[in-house]
Amino acid sequence: MRRAEITTAVLLAAFSIYLMWKSAELPIGWLPEEGPGGGAFPFWLAVIMLGSCIWIIVNWFRRSSPPSQSSEPFMDNYAVKRFALVGGGVTAMIGLIHILGVFGSLPLFLIYYIRFLGRHSWATTLAIALSAPVVVFFFFDVALRIIMPKGYLEPLFLPLYDIFL
């Protein structure tokens, strides 16, 4: 646990510095009559993330957090198995986006995750797996007008685009 805590803190600190650098390519200050610049929110969120990482590193050196005092392994055999099952499911979902689109692969992943890994009832599983793509469709495609990948299921969405867009 101790090694995992410092490794994660250092990697996230490096990532936050990268995000600060990339977001500074856009204005990060307040623009008159426009408000915050395009890079302001990502930049300042990355600053907060870097500060949090520095605080984790300080606590690691002081050994004041429970993970920094622990000599237990970061992941036992059960955690490694669960990580592989979830990671494999996410990888399959991402791979299926090209074929079935977001709205075909998302319910399949949710069925796999909720029913088979989470062992919830079919009623709960189907309620979430069928409602989540509908919510995602209305939020991204209709409200935000960000078209999500449809894959080979795109002809099914053409009538919806005629109605909503």
Alpha helices (runs of H) in the chain, residue ranges in sequence order: 2-23, 40-62, 66-69, 77-100, 102-110, 122-136, 158-164
B/e letters for 72-86, b = 16+ CB within 10 Å, e = fewer, are eeeeeeeeeeeeeee
Taking the domains of the chain in order of start, what are their residue ranges? 2-69, 77-164
Q: Look up residue 68 and give its two tokens.
A: 């920094």
Q: Look up residue 151 and give its two tokens.
A: 């894959």
Looking up tokens 């494999």 gives 88
Closest listed residue to residue 96, CA positions, set 109, 85, 83: 109
Q: Would you write out the chain's pLDDT as a tens digit for each of its 165 residues? A: 999 999 999 999 999 999 999 999 999 989 888 889 889 999 999 999 999 999 999 999 999 989 889 989 999 999 999 999 999 999 999 999 999 999 999 999 999 999 999 999 999 999 999 999 999 999 999 888 889 999 999 999 888 888 887
Query: Residue 130: its pLDDT value, please?
Result: 96
Query: Residue 119: its pLDDT value, please?
Result: 97
The three-state secondary structure class of 98 is helix
